[in-house]
Amino acid sequence: MSYEIIDGKKISLQMQEEIAAEVKAFTAKGGKIPHLAAVLVGEDPASQAYVGSKVKTCEKVGFKSTLVKFPSTISEQELLNKLDELNNDKDIDGYIVQLPLPKHISEHKIIEAVKPSKDVDGFHPINVGRLVLDLPTYISATPYGITQLLERYNIETSGKNCVVIGRSHIVGSPMSILMAKNNKFANCTVTLCHSRTKDLKAHCLNADIIIAAIGKPNFVTADMVKQGCVIIDVGINRVDDASLPKGYKLVGDVDFDNCAPKCSFITPVPGGVGPMTIASLLKNTLLAAKREIYK
Ligand code: NAD
């Protein structure tokens, strides 16, 4: 079967151009320049890379950005004090706290300390609740990016069986909620699978759409995929590869080479879901600057 590769890089750039145009129009009418802040705790190289590219992309679309860095030894209280400052800083429209945090800091406490109107990651319980209740909200970036891919590739979802693998708070769970919603690019019958699911293969073989967010390289194999399936691979996994200068390569949760020939559409890793996450975060920040969710 011939399959189409869903080009997340292309769609992300398209979204960034749209956002840049909106920023121009908004500021031309006297609106303020959107301002995103990112809080980074510690020296984790992956977190540094993610935050770095978020800040760089902000500049590309005409946003202001502020990077707030702390050593991993910062106490929970000191970090909470900083969030309080960001919550009260009128120039900052939205901010994110890059996860994971050091073990001595409670992620829940930190997430709940972010003012919901500035929570452009969409992790605060109020924003998650609003998502469930179909109220305007910041949809967390990776799930929102996936809905954009489906929509912009005009992929039929209504009435389809969608299997989401993984139930994390940032990807799998919100994704399952979004795919079941009563709107044009959702309306799926959703099955949310996880580490305790029995006979995952049988669920997958019944799926028209598989969204894999597990964190295990090449976990979804061709024998789990029915002909014509749409596969969205969220996984980003490092696997050793001595032939490369870095000594590793990035692969998804899906065995791309063997699954792709059975698919109608499939996202690659890298270049699929990954680039969409940043574009979606910028979209949320624009909504924050325009006070479109919280007036
Ligand atoms: P997580 O570790 O929080 O959750 C993994 C989920 O997989 C769990 O809910 C678990 O129940 C499920 N799981 C584990 N083993 C399983 C099994 N054998 N069968 C079925 N389910 C199983 O991970 P996460 O934060 O949701 O991230 C998942 C992957 O997505 C990671 O590779 C991560 O790096 C990647 N990710 C990518 C982006 C992006 O922008 N593309 C964003 C976030 C996460």
**pLDDT tens by residue, the chain, 295 residues:** 699 999 999 999 999 999 999 999 999 999 999 999 999 999 998 899 999 999 999 999 999 999 999 999 999 999 999 999 999 999 999 999 999 999 999 999 999 999 999 999 999 999 999 999 999 999 999 999 999 999 999 999 999 999 999 999 999 999 999 999 999 899 999 999 999 999 999 999 999 999 999 999 999 999 999 999 999 999 999 999 999 999 999 999 999 999 999 999 999 999 999 999 999 999 999 999 999 999 8
Q: Is the CB of 284 under 6 A from ligand 1?
A: no
Catalytic site residue 54?
yes
Among 281, 294, 295, 284, CA closest to 117: 294
Contact 186, 161 (CB under 8 A): no
Contact 91, 34 (CB under 8 A): no
Residues 6+ apart with CB under 8 A from 68: 37, 38, 39, 40, 82, 86
Return the residue matching tokens 């609003």: 130
The residue extents of the domains of the chain are 30-115, 141-266
Q: Is the CB of 268 under 6 A from ligand 1?
A: no
Residues 6+ apart with CB under 8 A from 247: 240, 241
- Check residue 242 and give its pLDDT: 96
Query: pTM value?
Result: 0.97
Catalytic site residue 16?
no
Q: Is the CB of 217 under 6 A from ligand 1?
A: no
- Check residue 245 and give its pLDDT: 95
Name the catalytic one among 82, 98, 233, 262. Answer: 98
Please tell me the residue having the least CA distance from ligand 1 atom 17: 195
Three-state secondary structure call for residue 171: coil
**Do 30-115 and 141-266 come out as alike in CATH topology?**
yes
Distance of CA 274 to the CA centre of its chain: 7
- At the top level of CATH, the class of 141-266 is alpha beta
Alpha-carbon Rg for the chain in angstroms: 19
Rounded Cα distance, 166 and 3, in Å = 25
| Lookup: tokens for 244 | 């490369």
Rounded Cα distance, 73 and 200, in Å = 41
- At the top level of CATH, the class of 30-115 is alpha beta
Which of 147, 200, 214 has the most ligand 1 atoms within 8 A of CB, as the residue to mutate? 214
- Check residue 295 and give its pLDDT: 86
| Lookup: tokens for 74 | 């910062």
Q: Is the CB of 48 under 6 A from ligand 1?
A: no
- Check residue 265 and give its pLDDT: 98
Which of 44, 144, 168 has the most ligand 1 atoms within 8 A of CB, as the residue to mutate? 168
What is the maximum span of the chain, computed from C-alpha positions, in angstroms? Answer: 57
Residue 242 vs residues 211, 235, 238, 245, 248: alpha-carbon distances, Å:
30, 21, 12, 7, 7
112, exposed or middle or buried, with CB in 10 Å at 0-12, 13-18, 19+? Answer: middle
Rounded Cα distance, 130 and 284, in Å = 15
- Check residue 38 and give its pLDDT: 97
